[in-house]
Amino acid sequence: MPTPKKTPATQFHVDCTLETKNRFNRLHEAMSCKTKAETFAAIIYSTTAADTLDPHLLERLEHKLDRALERYDSMI
């Protein structure tokens, strides 16, 4: 039976306080990720997504779509 392919990984070492390590472990348990690497990736993703995604983006897109549909209806 062939072994499953693993995604390429790299080691990343962090110096942190015991409190920070315990907080990360609690997050890992709460998030129910399979590995600590998945937990770390999820934290990084959610942090960067919160910084880069505009919270009002969907509202603006919806408004533009409504205007486009109204213009389309007026042309028919």
pTM of the model: 0.54
Q: Which pLDDT tens digit goes with each residue over 7-40?
A: 777 888 889 999 999 999 999 999 988 999 999 9
Q: What is the pLDDT of residue 72?
A: 82
pLDDT band at 50 (very low <50, low <70, confident <90, very high): low
More confident residue, 29 or 56: 29
Question: What is d(CA 42, CA 25) in angstroms, rounded to the nearest whole number?
Answer: 14
- b/e map of 27-66 (b: 16 or more CB within 10 Å)? ebeeeebeeeeebbeeeeeeeeeeeeeeeeeeeeeeeeee
CA distance readout (Å), 3 to 6, 36, 37: 9, 22, 20
